[in-house]
Amino acid sequence: MHLVRQHIEKDGSGSITLRPQEDEDMWHAYNLIQEGDLLRASAVRRVQNETATGTTTSRRVHTKLTIQVTKVLYSALASNSSADSNAAPTPEELTTSASTAAASSSSGSTTLHVSGQVAEENDFVKKGAFHTLDLEVGRDFTLIKGPGEWDSVATERIRDMTELGRGADIGAIVCGEGLANICLITNHTTIIRQRIDVPAPRKRKGASSIGADKAHDKFLAQVYAAFVKHFDVDSLKVIIIASPGFTKEAVHQYILDEAVKQGNKSILSARSKFLLLHSPSHHVHSLAQILASPEVAAQLKDTKFAREGVMLDKFNKMMDSEPLRAWYGEEHVSKAVERAAVDKLLISDEIFRSPSVARRKKFVTLVEDVKRFGGEVLIFSSMHESGQQLNGLTGIAALLSYPLDVEDVLEQEKVEQETEKQLGEISE
């Protein structure tokens, strides 16, 4: 994302002009634009004119419009969205929509549809008219927020998305016998570039295996073609091939053999980037476990999404070994923050897309309190498998710096409330 200009006042109001440069930037915009914000962007509007004779003509005009946002629709989620664009998508919807967003391997395949009422009248559109602005890669837009709305979470996202060299991409092939998911993983999104499914006839005792061998060769050829089409091996830091059985070894060897035959020097020079890992299944949701593996973590220890996977894995293990230090749920985590007991806060970006300003501010304050008390905050992306798994745990969890029994905390609060009530009655 390119930052064109920025003007934010001390009271947290102001505007920022951005230029999306790749599909991932549209995901950032989706997380920044809230209901009630003002959005200014280029638009095409059909205008009707009536002549002196009473006939009407219509024409399309290009203009700039400023609308007050009422609805935001991310095209990758469009096929699964209900009438409420702020409803939380399920992990299955996110996984399906990710592949929809990536149907084209080139940038610009993802758009953001933002609806609302026109806030500033011009020669073509009256104030109050409804319009939908389509934000796309390469087109500038200006986002205007009121006092206090450019909060710490929003400004941190701007710094993150405009940071140079923030990509640190991973290419991943999660596969099984005749099945493969070709994925590209960035700091904030997991995109399925292609799904491959080649049915293989079962090998029967005493029967020829020619059909099964042909199906296997066809599968490997399709994986290689997808690899070459979707992966820029020069820019990727790691290339993961993962499967439950021995498919990963066959795929890896086929890719290298074909690269030798075709003289593909980029693939041959990237031999050291390949990681062959065990996967519990060929499904994309296995990526969360794969990314938490020591081999991946060692090579990508400084990247955001790798830390997410490692921290979620640590939380799950803590739930089994030391449950008094692993809390989740809005109410319980809030109580742990009040006691300055949170060492690591795991929170989903989905929470900050709440249409309720008061609810968003509540969680922004929670994040700021954790940082103030010396804790670390990790905001998980809902477009990663780790983020979807966190959403399944209410979207918020915490690793505590010391054991704390939630039942004891609730009992202590109950006693304190009863004491305050008794003191109030005595004073009266």
CA pair distance 111, 126, nearest whole angstrom: 26
What average pLDDT does the segment 73-79 reach? 61
Indicate the DSSP class of residue 323.
G
Q: Name which of 234-243, 275-284, 298-307 the model is least confident about.
A: 298-307
390 close to 307: Cβ distance less than 8 angstroms: no
Q: What is the mean pLDDT of the chain?
A: 81
Single-letter residue type at 223: V
What percent of the chain has a predicted confidence (pLDDT) above 90?
26
Rounded Cα distance, 86 and 81, in Å: 9
Nearest of 187, 161, 156 to residue 368 by alpha carbon: 156
pLDDT at residue 88 greater than cutoff 50: no
Mean pLDDT along residues 328-347: 91
Whether residue 344 has pLDDT greater than 90: yes
pLDDT in tens, 245-284: 899 999 999 999 999 999 999 999 999 889 898 888 888 8
pLDDT per residue as tens digits for the range 207-220: 556 777 888 899 99
| pTM reported for the whole predicted model | 0.63
